[in-house]
């Protein structure tokens, strides 16, 4: 319990940091983008137009990533509405497919008959993206990531299941600790954000892991 408390308070901090960082990164990016646009209009740079377009495109992509991953906003202002979780899942699948296709990984969706829930759409999107990213990063080509929704007793469950190598007990112990990562280019923030989002939704996160893969179960209270 004590550990859980420590985890939560540092996650609050992460949320605020993430919002701050995304703002701080966006400002210089906007400046750079503006000057690139300006260069594009200069006749003497006409031969570089293709590169300038590419640079602007890449900036826009980075911006989109910030939007998806760091703009989790303020805990206090996040609004919850009665929404259909299945719709949120289906809406995000095309985005996930773009990621999956590039690595020859497969995504399966099995949405069940579930009641509406009090949700914040952006946060649930973010939670899903962080979980499927981890799943893809743990899997090889041709392996399948499955997203499921179903009702189980008083709960609605959102499950994200991968076929990766699983999580070792040593790593399990540290999951959710801010900045803990086993990846060369990891941030170690993804799961922390997931825990924070789940907490705001009064949901819990259970993990089942083994040599066959890992499943994250987000359990919401059904009304």
State the residues that interact with ligand ADP by CB under 6 A: 130, 134-135, 138, 162, 164, 167, 171, 175, 180-183, 186-192, 214
If residue 221 lies in a helix (H) or strand (E), which one and from where to where?
strand 213-221
Q: In the β-sheet with 155-161, what is the strand arrangement from edge to edge? A: 106-111, 144-152, 155-161, 213-221, 204-210
Looking up tokens 């210089």 gives 28
Backbone angles phi, psi at 162, to 5 degrees: -115, 170
Task: Provide the token pair at 56.
Answer: 């602007």
Q: Which does 135 bind (CB under 5 to 8 A by kind): Mg ion, ligand ADP, none?
A: ligand ADP
**Nearest-CA neighbor of 83 among 55, 123, 110?**
123
Whichever of 140 and 221 has its CB closer to ligand ADP, that residue is 140
Least distance to ligand ADP from the beta carbon of 145, Å? 9
Q: Which does 126 bind (CB under 5 to 8 A by kind): ligand ADP, Mg ion, none?
A: none
Question: Does 190 interact with Mg ion (rule: CB under 5 A)?
Answer: yes
**Nearest-CA neighbor of 13 among 208, 143, 195?**
195
Least distance to ligand ADP from the beta carbon of 209, Å? 7
Distances (CA, A) of 107 to 98, 130, 145, 165: 10, 15, 5, 17
Whichever of 73 and 213 has its CB closer to ligand ADP, that residue is 213
Q: Which does 22 bind (CB under 5 to 8 A by kind): Mg ion, ligand ADP, none?
A: none
Q: What is the DSSP string of 99-156?
A: HHHTTT-EEEEEE-----EEE-HHHHHHHHHHHHHHHHHH--TT-EEEEEEEEETTEE
Least distance to ligand ADP from the beta carbon of 110, Å? 18
Least distance to ligand ADP from the beta carbon of 80, Å? 24
x/- mask, Mg ion, residues 46-75, rule CB under 5 A, reads ------------------------------
Cβ distance 203 to 192 under 8 Å?
no
Q: Which does 178 bind (CB under 5 to 8 A by kind): ligand ADP, Mg ion, none?
A: none
Cβ distance 149 to 156 under 8 Å?
yes
Given 22, 120, 134, 214, the residue binding Mg ion (CB under 5 A):
134
CA 65 – CA 100 distance, rounded (Å)? 16
Pick the stretch among 23-31, 33-41, 128-136, 196-204 that binds Mg ion (CB under 5 A). Answer: 128-136
Q: Which does 73 bind (CB under 5 to 8 A by kind): ligand ADP, Mg ion, none?
A: none
Least distance to ligand ADP from the beta carbon of 12, Å? 16
Interface positions with Mg ion (CB under 5 A): 134, 190
């Amino acid at each position: 319990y004590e550990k859980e408390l420590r985890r939560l308070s540092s996650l609050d901090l992460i949320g605020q940091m993430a919002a701050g960082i995304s703002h701080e990164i966006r400002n210089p990016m906007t400046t750079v983008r503006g000057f690139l646009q300006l260069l594009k209009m200069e006749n003497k740079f006409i031969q570089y137009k293709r590169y300038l377009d590419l640079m602007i495109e890449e900036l826009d992509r980075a911006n989109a990533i910030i939007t998806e991953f760091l703009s989790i906003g303020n805990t206090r202002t996040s609004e919850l509405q009665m929404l259909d979780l299945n719709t949120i899942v289906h809406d995000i699948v095309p985005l996930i497919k773009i990621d999956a296709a590039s690595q020859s990984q497969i995504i399966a969706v099995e949405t069940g008959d579930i009641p509406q829930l009090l949700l914040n759409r952006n946060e649930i999107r973010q939670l899903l993206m962080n979980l499927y990213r981890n799943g893809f990063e743990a899997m090889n080509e041709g392996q399948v990531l499955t997203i499921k929704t179903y009702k189980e007793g008083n709960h609605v469950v959102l499950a994200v299941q991968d076929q990766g190598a699983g999580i070792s007990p040593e790593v399990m112990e540290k999951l959710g600790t801010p900045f803990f990562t086993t990846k060369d280019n990891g941030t170690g923030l993804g799961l922390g954000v997931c825990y924070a989002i789940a907490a705001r939704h009064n949901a819990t996160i259970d993990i089942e892991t083994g040599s066959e893969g890992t499943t994250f179960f987000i359990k919401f209270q059904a009304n």
